[in-house]
Structure 1
Amino acid sequence: MRWSWFMPYHFFIKRIQEREERERAFYENGSLLLEKLIVCCNAKPIPIRTFSPQQLLLATNNFSSSEQLLIGFPIWYKGSLEGRIVLIKRFDGLANLAINDLVISAQMSGHSNVLKPIGCCLHTPSPIFVFEFPANGFLADRIYVSRVTELQHQPMGWERRLKIARQIAHALSYLHTAFPRPVIHMSIHMRSILLDEHDVPKLSNFYFSVSIPEGEADVEAHRAFYVNAPEFTASRKVTEKFDVYCFGQLLLELLTGKDIHNRAQGSCINEIVDPAILAEDGEGGVSLEHQLQAVVDLALTCTVEDPQRRPTMVDVTKQLRRIERFAETGEVLLGNLQNLKLHESFKEHASASLKRNASNDEIQAVNEASERPLEV
């Protein structure tokens, strides 16, 4: 009799403890979220919903391994929530990084090339986030030759690759110039970019992102992912040019179809470009060759060792637009690229204030482009 009486009591106490743990997690995560909002966007509310742990368990079949899209940090799941297919990111540990990802994703959600947050659950020890679902998966699975072969995907054409490069460059330009202080993504690579049903790229993974403090020319970063620019390895201090370096590596991977960490300088186009690109049919083979060479040159300019000699992402975006629209001789593109290098004397490094704030022309150019819907 005593045992039968004890069991319900023990169960009742356990339920109370679980509820207290959920409430403690909610307040701790909520405090982190509020603190980050104050730092990043003046405590402005973010337009996302709150979901319960039970809703997300149901959406993912108890976080079943069959619903996992990517294992690592974080773990990505495909879920069904209120009749809608969604992407769910679960952070096991490091709640501060998770909150960083949510806040900057929300700040950037107005850009058409950023993965948009839908909601979050703050009642778990580490937050769980709900994002729009990118139907065509990770860019890596459509570019890396090994993954394309393994998954039996159709190789992505050059025109689409170039367009994706330009759209991601534009998103990074926005990140660097549209806010009171420049934000550095710190994790630009193939698995930080997802594709919707129309192959429109969506930038994600802002958990390592950092902003340059007011009055400073750079910021100390404690983490980076996949690609480390030389200045990070040397001093852990970075500027927006860190992202430029990583984007240059991304350009080389779009060209080669390989996960590379070495420069392609000195190699001829036919040796480094993905054979699927060279095999494309169509008119104007010379134009394609000039485009490919111009992108190689741009990638190498982005990945020079001295960050002061790298272009800004605003100028990279402009150059990619020129390459997309290229219809004359290759010398025009190469001339533009040379002008781009000369233009990048980087006077902003002479003073912290100029480094901290983007020019009015840059902000206007980026904002005007972001207000126009990007063609699909």
Structure 2
Amino acid sequence: MALEESPRIPLFHAASLMGPMGLPRLHQSNIDEASRRSFSRRSKSTGRTQVYTVSELQFATNGFNECNILGEGSLGTVYRAKFPGGKILAVKNINLAGVSYREEEKFLDVICTASRLKHPNIVALNGYCLERGKHLLVYDYVRNLTLHDALHIDVYQPLSWILRLRIALGVARALDYLHSAFSPPVAHGNLKAANVLLDENLMPRLSDCGLAVLRPLRSNQAIKSPAADLGYLSPDHGRVGGSSRKKDVFAFGVLLLEMLTGRKAFDGARPTDEQYLVKWASPRLHDNSSLEQMVDPCMKRTFSSKALSRYAAIVSLCIQPSRHFRPQMSEVVDSLVSFSQKFNRPKGGVADGGNNMELDSFEISFRSSNTRFLASPAFSHLSA
């Protein structure tokens, strides 16, 4: 269990970058400048992360103009930023106020971790800014369409089963990378449909990886987490000694349910006994008749009873109340690959486990439909 309970904070420590821990507490502006310059030297030597100035980001976002807002979350606001030469990035303004030297170190630890995350299904950190009391993260821009939008906003064409499975597998592989391939292991900490971005090919890109650790540092003026997030929380959420990675597994199970049913993880507009998706769906997962009735009526394709039961079995394991009975994400990936291979039989060849699932005219129609960002009940784009 040693690996499972390892901390989420990365191998690098900001203290080693900024000097001995015995340094006296500095004035906030001095902390920012010392931190920025020190991490800047390391970043430039590794070529991993670019250091931006506040002036550069103000120019790119037109003074953080509200017209450039992509979304808002519990950690702050995300802006569309256009740089000289036409490059588009996303700037996340983290709401931290009056942080101490040690808290500044934690923020730099998060940057160190995020700068090392390299996976095709994870939104890459492009750079950061620590200046004038600002805490800004600069990410690659992924068109502002989230899985939440695609599932729950009527203007979009419904996603077919094949496409939903491909998205699920991409998210699962991203989590498996964080939990197993990355060293030391990291938990996402805030997995939800609004944090799964879909690119121009409708491939999933997981955002806000590892940022949940910053939540205790946010200012009193920070935006509170939306009520919808409650639907993704596992029964062991908040317990001392609980595994954050096993909480990710639970949240992923909720995501699978969301894609199966077309329902939100939490929906306050529904009757009380149907508001929490997991609570409503759990007793129905083992009854074939109820299971078939749960399937999103908007989907073009349907499962056979056998395939539906196999999918429900994966969901059921992920949302186990006890974390000890939830599988590792590597096991979930294997199960989804096996399921996808059996379910998806392309017209002209053998299934490949989800990497190149054939898109039918329905998915092409979705891809070409109106994808202009629309405000949704859950905050969109890097919305931790």
> Take 2:282 and 2:65, find their aligned partners in 1: how far apart are those partners?
45
Q: What SS is found at the alignment partner of 2:82?
A: strand
What is aligned with 2:368? none
Matched, 1:103 2:104: no
From the CA coordinates, give the structure whose radius of gyration is larger: 1
Q: What SS is found at the alignment partner of 2:252?
A: helix
Q: 1:59 to 1:319 in 2, by over 3 A?
A: same
Which amino acid in 2 is paired with 1:106?
S
Shift of 1:231: 2.3
> Take 1:321 and 1:193, find their aligned partners in 2: how far apart are those partners?
19
> Take 2:32 and 2:83, find their aligned partners in 1: how far apart are those partners?
23
Q: Match for 2:127 among 119, 131, 144?
A: 119
Shift of 1:28: 3.9
What is aligned with 1:49? 50
Shift of 1:323: 1.1
**% identical aligned pairs:** 25
> Take 1:308 and 1:238, find their aligned partners in 2: how far apart are those partners?
9
> Take 2:344 and 2:72, find their aligned partners in 1: how far apart are those partners?
46
Q: What SS is found at the alignment partner of 2:236?
A: helix
TM-score under structure 2 length normalisation: 0.65
**Conserved 8 A contact 1:184-1:239:** yes
Q: Match for 1:240 among 245, 250, 260?
A: 245
What is aligned with 2:323? 307
What is aligned with 1:182? 185
Which amino acid in 1 is paired with 2:164?
R
Q: Match for 1:130 among 123, 138, 142?
A: 138
Matched, 1:265 2:270: no
**Conserved 8 A contact 1:105-1:114:** no
Q: What SS is found at the alignment partner of 1:246?
A: helix
> Take 2:67 and 2:340, find their aligned partners in 1: how far apart are those partners?
40
**Conserved 8 A contact 1:70-1:76:** yes
> Take 1:184 and 1:22, find their aligned partners in 2: how far apart are those partners?
31
Q: What does residue range 14-33 of structure 1 map to in structure 2 within 5 Å?
A: 24-28=31-35
What is aligned with 1:219? none
Structure with more relative contact order (C-alpha pairs < 8 Å, separation 6 or more): 2
Q: 1:54 to 1:234 in 2, by over 3 A?
A: closer
Q: 1:373 to 1:126 in 2, by over 3 A?
A: farther
**Conserved 8 A contact 2:341-2:354:** no
> Take 2:89 and 2:198, find their aligned partners in 1: how far apart are those partners?
14
What is aligned with 1:75? 77
> Take 1:23 and 1:67, find their aligned partners in 2: how far apart are those partners?
30
Deviations 1:131-151 (A, max 9, x none): 11111422211112xxx12xx
> Take 2:196 and 2:138, find their aligned partners in 1: how far apart are those partners?
16
> Take 1:271 and 1:78, find their aligned partners in 2: how far apart are those partners?
41
CA RMSD of aligned residues (A): 3.3
Which amino acid in 2 is paired with 1:185?
H
Deviations 1:17-69 (A, max 9, x none): xxx976642324566x69xx9xxxxxx94612112111111111111111111
Which amino acid in 2 is paired with 1:107?
R
Q: 1:266 to 1:103 in 2, by over 3 A?
A: same
Q: What SS is found at the alignment partner of 1:274?
A: coil
Which amino acid in 2 is paired with 1:297?
A
TM-score under structure 1 length normalisation: 0.67
Shift of 1:286: 5.2
**Conserved 8 A contact 1:244-1:310:** yes
**Conserved 8 A contact 1:105-1:115:** no
What is aligned with 2:62? 61
Shift of 1:327: 5.0
Q: 1:181 to 1:21 in 2, by over 3 A?
A: closer
Judging by fraction of residues, say which structure has more helix.
Answer: 1
Which amino acid in 1 is paired with 2:254?
Q
Matched, 1:229 2:234: yes
Give unmatched runs, 5+ long, in structure 2: 1-26, 98-102, 215-224, 266-275, 285-289, 346-351, 358-384
Moved more, 54-63 or 116-125: 116-125
Which amino acid in 2 is paired with 1:324?
S
Shift of 1:87: 1.1
What is aligned with 2:173? 170
> Take 2:247 and 2:340, find their aligned partners in 1: how far apart are those partners?
25
What is aligned with 1:251? 256
Q: 1:323 to 1:236 in 2, by over 3 A?
A: same
Q: 1:139 to 1:100 in 2, by over 3 A?
A: farther
